[in-house]
Amino acid sequence: MTVIDPFDFQRIFVSILAGSSDIFTFLFVVIISGLGAYFKMDSRIMMIMYLVFGIVMSTYIGAIYVLIILVVGIITFYSISRMFNR
């Protein structure tokens, strides 16, 4: 049995929870979009949050995914915000 350090967040979230960095990125975009839609954040603030997330994740997954993260994040945010506004 392997002992996992309590502050080894990469192993806990990426390896155990998601399985790969691509799935973790998708899950985190959905979580950010859901929280932004639930708290009815402005779209400009959400864009800044997606930009910060894209910059942080670009060191792990590559620079081309930053554009994909932005587009998918914006679409997910507007979709979830419409569900919470009804």
7-28 residues labelled b (16+ CB within 10 A) or e (exposed): eeeeeeebeeeeeebeebbeeb
pLDDT tens digits for range 12-42: 888 888 888 778 888 888 888 888 888 888 8
Rounded alpha-carbon distances, angstroms, from residue 47 to 4, 10, 15, 83: 35, 25, 27, 19
Question: Could you tell me the pTM of the whole model?
Answer: 0.66
Q: What is the pLDDT of residues 42-79, one digit of tens each?
A: 888 888 888 888 778 777 766 677 777 778 888 888 88
- Residue that wins the pLDDT comparison between 84 and 30: 30
